[in-house]
Structure 1
Amino acid sequence: MCLGIPARIVAIVDADAGLALADTAGVRRQINIGLLVAEGGDSSALVEQWVLLHVGFAMTVIDQAEASRSLALLAQIDSLAQMEEGGEP
């Protein structure tokens, strides 16, 4: 099973290497955007875009509504998991 996490690209770190800085729920990490940028494409167009992130690679661009739905679902899953463990959500 693969899990894609919505992330918002906040900056391009190294356009030549296809690296960007992305934010997911307040956590920022460096990701690879090479799969989204065609050879010679403008990576700066991805800034502020939402992407689906899997193991550090941006797989596809998604819209904000889809990102919000996915993040809400992930929050529900986390809450249920915490309740099963006997903790507070």
Structure 2
Amino acid sequence: MCLAIPAQIVELEPSDMARVRVGESSTFLSASTMLLPEPPRVGDYVIVHAGFALHSLTPEEAESSLAALRELAEAVEGQPANF
């Protein structure tokens, strides 16, 4: 099973690559956008797996997923999550 955290595109790079910010953390990754059905834009939210952006999310879907993941992490860890 894979758990994916929404990532926001912060920069589009050459060759169908994007720099993305994972959740609201200070973690950034490079991800290929070649599998997305439509060209991405800076500010879009995506689900990244194995270095590929697989699916686009609306800002509302991304926030809903992040809120649910924060609640789960807080329940398990007993402290607020940092993502």
Partner of 1:7: 7
Separation in structure 2 between the aligned mates of residue 31 and residue 13 of structure 1, nearest angstrom: 10
1:13-59 CA-to-partner distances (Å, cap 9, x unmatched) read: 22x2x211001213222112111166xxxx4x422111122232211
CA contact (8 A) 1:3 1:54 kept: no
Structure 1: tracts of 5 or more residues without a match: none
1:31 is aligned to 2:26: no
Separation in structure 1 between the aligned mates of residue 37 and residue 41 of structure 2, nearest angstrom: 9
The two structures have a TM-score, normalised by structure 2, of 0.78
CA contact (8 A) 1:33 1:57 kept: yes
CA contact (8 A) 1:9 1:50 kept: yes
The two structures have a TM-score, normalised by structure 1, of 0.73
Q: What is the identity percentage for the equivalent residue pairs of Structure 1 and Structure 2?
A: 31
Structure 2: tracts of 5 or more residues without a match: none
Say how many residue pairs are matched.
78
Matches within 5 A, 1:49-60: 49-60=44-55
Separation in structure 2 between the aligned mates of residue 75 and residue 23 of structure 1, nearest angstrom: 16
Instruction: Provide the aligned C-alpha RMSD in A.
Output: 1.9
Matches within 5 A, 1:1-89: 1-14=1-14, 16=15, 18-24=16-22, 25-26=24-25, 27-36=27-36, 43=39, 45-83=40-78, 88-89=79-80
Stretches (4+) displaced over 6 A: none
Amino acid at match of 2:11: A
